[in-house]
Amino acid sequence: MKNIVIDGVEYVKKSELLKVKKTGKKLYPVEGIPFKIGGEYFFRTVTYHLTGRLVNVIGKFLVLEDAAWIADSGRFNKFFTEPTAELEVEPFGERLVNLNIDSIVDATERKILVDVK
């Protein structure tokens, strides 16, 4: 897959991203950050937690789709070992969410959460 580069920023065509989601083909690493386009992540920031699928990186911002604010994860270990544990989840809906990389405390791969709980 050949990505488009504009002003030094690499963009992935939406049609290509949809292929990644549907076929599960290889995800592409983004230079300079430990995340892959199309990857699903849990982010802990200085003020809140969220999950989302990475669709782009613009400057210091990760662009996420299917993002959700995790208002209450319950027991942290259970949050990762039992996906249906007691949670308080507030999805952003159809919006893209821009997450400032400087606000991230830690992150890990995790299935995204898209339903209100």
The domains located in the chain, with CATH, are 4-109 (2.30.30.100)
| Residue stretches of the chain with pLDDT short of 50 | 23
pLDDT above 70 covers what percent of the chain?
78
pLDDT of residue 4: 73
Burial class (CB in 10 A: 0-12, 13-18, 19+), 61: middle
pLDDT of residue 28: 62
Q: Which of 52, 78, 56 shows the shortest CA–CA distance to 65?
A: 52
pLDDT in tens, 97-112: 999 999 999 999 998 8
Please state, in angstroms and rounded to a whole number, the distance separating the CA atoms of residues 29 and 54.
11
- What would the two tokens of residue 97 be? 């969410």
